[in-house]
Amino acid sequence: MVTQRTPAKADWQESFTKRQVGVADLTLLSKVSENTINDNLRLRFENGEIYTYIGHVLISVNPFRDLGIYTDEILQHYIGKNILEAKSGAGKTEAAKKIMQYIASVSGGQSSSSIQEIKDMVLATNPLLESFGCAKTLRNNNSSRHGKYLEILFNGQREPIGARITNYLLEKARVVGQISNERNFHIFYQFTKGAAQEYREHLGITGPEGYNYTYGAGCLDVDGIDDVADYADTLRAMQVIGLTKAEQDNIHKMLAIILWLGNVTFVEADNDSSQVADTNVTAYVANLMQVAPELLEKSLLNRTIETQRGGRRGSMYDVPLNPIQATAQRDALAKAIYDRMFEWIVARINLAMKERGKAEYIIGVLDIYGFEIFEGG
């Protein structure tokens, strides 16, 4: 009989006892250059050491596999240790999540209900912003497609009393198109697969195969991702943050508007202009937007130009768009709606996590998407 090895416990125990490879702090290199830094990081990576310091800055190298180093048992090992006493995979997003989980676990002592509420909210930002800000790419099934800087605020007793998020560089273009075998943001697949019956009836939600913005790249499912289960986590996170039912309904309505906008297509008309291929679709989108269908069609099929005379405002007139231009106009509207909604979600999270007391210490966690290099590219 072969006894199966339990990798999580064995790996982390070995990591505290095995001989360190390379230098754990790059400031200790005898010669500092791009080559020596890269060689040291590669050597440690090949030995299962994905974390390396530069003074008080931590470099995290994505191992593209589970190293079993984030268990509760390992977490307890780090409590009360300074930077030199214990060093222990993940990419930037996963590393940021583990940092937040660690802070929530070890800070505050006998926490009050207010402090516990802040801890819960800080952790709830992970599934919420991942759903709206991460996507499946060719190299990463959970790739951050926006930048996020989270500041956790502490009082004099080192208890978390608030937090704030700065968001930037959202990849809005992903909303309207993806390369083959990539996906739109996670939330669109979560919503279309796991939507409650009321949303399916009132917002016309079907599966992701029913929308150009989710079906176009040919990737509806991802190994290791359960969109329905993740959607449940997203909804729980909304509740923890304190989003009301009306706020949640409005978010879902915006998602439905974007999905249906992607199904609006155009055909050529006279004089290099265009017309909507199926006015039933624009009528449905207009109903969700609560605007007149003819107003929506006009905004998609024309651009407004304003003339000026002598620095003063002149006449305004509409210029018809051809099908390619109208499609770009449609996509610009969808991207703008998603961007405004994402910014609103971040602002709403910040309002819920506003500091409750005087902050004396701050820990900042930066999670920004990187670039992906492919063979031959």
Which residue out of 47, 60, 111, 140 is catalytically annotated?
Answer: 140
Contact 297, 274 (CB under 8 A): no
Annotated active-site residue 143? The verdict is yes
Single-letter residue type at 171 = E
- Cα separation, 129 vs 150, in Å, equals 12
- Cα separation, 285 vs 290, in Å, equals 8
Torsion angle (degrees, nearest 10) of CA 101, 107, 110, 111: -70
Annotated active-site residue 144? The verdict is yes
The percent helix, strand, coil of the chain (3-state, each to 5) is 45, 15, 35
Which residue out of 52, 125, 131, 143 is catalytically annotated?
Answer: 143
Which residue out of 125, 126, 131, 144 is catalytically annotated?
Answer: 144
Annotated active-site residue 370? The verdict is yes
Annotated active-site residue 34? The verdict is no
Tokens of 324: 């390619």
Residue of 90, 39, 42, 43 whose CA lies nearest to 62: 90
Question: Could you tell me where the DSSP H helices lie in 157-211?
Answer: 186-194, 197-202
Annotated active-site residue 33? The verdict is no
- Cα separation, 121 vs 113, in Å, equals 12
Which residue out of 22, 40, 89, 214 is catalytically annotated?
Answer: 89
Which residue out of 52, 93, 107, 274 is catalytically annotated?
Answer: 93
Contact 276, 261 (CB under 8 A): no
Annotated active-site residue 88? The verdict is yes
Which residue out of 88, 126, 184, 263 is catalytically annotated?
Answer: 88
Q: Which residues are catalytic?
A: 88-89, 93, 140, 143-144, 370, 372
